[in-house]
Amino acid sequence: MTDTIVKVRFELPEGESINFKPGQFVQIITKPYKGGDDFDGHDEAVMRAYSVASSIKDEKHIELLIGYTKGIASTYVHKILNVGDEVTITGPFGDFFYKDDTNEEIVLVAAGTGFAPIRSILFHMLDNDIKKKTRFYFGAKTQSDLFLLDELKMFEEKLHDFKFMPTLSRVSEEEAWAGDRGRVNKSIDTYVQDDITYSAYLCGNPMMIEGIVKSLVAKNVLEEYIFFDEF
């Protein structure tokens, strides 16, 4: 997807299926592996959690968005895993998932691989013809950090009232970029209104989540309708 993010698709074994809620995660169990020219080996199996990025309607496959952090599991996925390899996956887990309610609009916020559960939520909205105005605020550093743009365009065309609104924090004034600039909090401060009822789904690092929650609360979004998953 980018220089550091891959999308991995797993096919479940014959007779197996998965039932999960949009936003939940699974855990991958790695295998010991030898080091290479640019990464260290590891002689023990570890377990790491990754949000499911695919539609809940696909019970035979699991799609994940995994960033390369030079950790044990991300190295395993990016450097060791090959097409056809078998991987042990457990789950689903987690209490972060889409919830039906009577609020007027939906706010989605993510950065990097935090896109994964949001993608699953968007598929859920499409599959169930959920007719709510929805805005997806995605924080990135540069244009090269944006991905799945064709798919997001598809969501814009097929969902009731959906718009992808990325904001870039490291784009120069001279660079041709028509979107918002700065941190994603700025988008919340600019576009979220204080007289509309919202449900918000956030996924990103703790610092980002903390800032977004503060911005949403300042716009009178009730904390009971702010759902987040930190990583």
Q: What is the CATH number of the domain that holds 69?
A: 2.40.30.10
- Pair (180, 81) in one structural domain: no
Written as six digits, the tokens of 111 are: 């950065």
Single-letter amino acid, residue 117 = P
Q: For 199-230, what is each residue's pLDDT tens digit? A: 999 999 999 999 999 999 999 999 999 999 98
Position 99 in a domain:
no
Phi, psi of 121 (to 5 degrees): -65, -40
Q: Are residues 220 and 116 in the same domain?
A: yes
Backbone angle region of 15, left / alpha / beta, with phi > 0 → left and psi within -120 to 50 → alpha: left
Q: Are residues 112 and 156 in the same domain?
A: yes
Tell me what pLDDT residue 174 has: 75
171 has pLDDT over 90: no
The mean per-residue pLDDT over the stretch 33-48 comes to: 94
Q: Supply the pLDDT for residue 200.
A: 98
Domain of residue 211, CATH code:
3.40.50.80
Residues 60 and 135 grouped into a single domain: no
Task: Specify if 128 maps to a domain.
Answer: yes
Give 124 or 176, the one with higher predicted confidence: 124
Domain count, the chain: 2
Are 127 and 81 part of one and the same domain? Answer: no
pLDDT tens profile 92-142? 999 999 999 999 999 999 999 999 999 999 999 999 999 999 999 999 999
Using alpha carbons only, how large is the chain's radius of gyration in Å?
18
In a domain, 100, yes or no: no
- Pair 203, 51: CB distance under 8 Å: yes
| Domain identity same for 11 and 114 | no
What values do phi and psi take at 35, rounded to 5? -75, 165
Q: Is residue 115 part of a domain?
A: yes
Domain match, 125 and 89 both: no
- Which of 65, 93, 121 corresponds to the end of one domain? 93
Same domain, 119 and 225: yes
Of 93, 120, 138, which residue constitutes the final position of a domain?
Answer: 93
Examine the fold and report which residue of 93, 127, 157 is the final residue of a domain before the chain moves on. 93
Same domain, 166 and 115: yes
Does residue 146 share a domain with residue 32? no
Asked whether residue 65 falls in the same domain as residue 110, the answer is no
Question: What pLDDT score was predicted for residue 176?
Answer: 84
Give residue 84's identity as a one-letter amino acid code. G
Within-domain flag for 98:
no
Residue 15 included in any domain: yes
pTM: 0.96
3-state secondary structure 53-82: CCCCCCCCEEEEEEECCCCHHHHHHHHHCC
Provide the residue range defining the domain that includes 163. Answer: 105-230
The Cα–Cα gap between 122 and 32 comes to 35
CA 28 to CA 87: how far, in whole Å? 7
Task: State the sign of the Cα–Cα–Cα–Cα dihedral 14, 44, 53, 23.
Answer: positive
Could you give the angle at the alpha carbon of 132 between the alpha carbons of 129 and 134, nearest 5°? 110
Of 17, 8, 28, the C-alpha closest to 113 is: 8
Q: Are strands 198-204 and 226-230 parallel, antiparallel or unpaired?
A: parallel
54 with 118, same domain: the answer is no
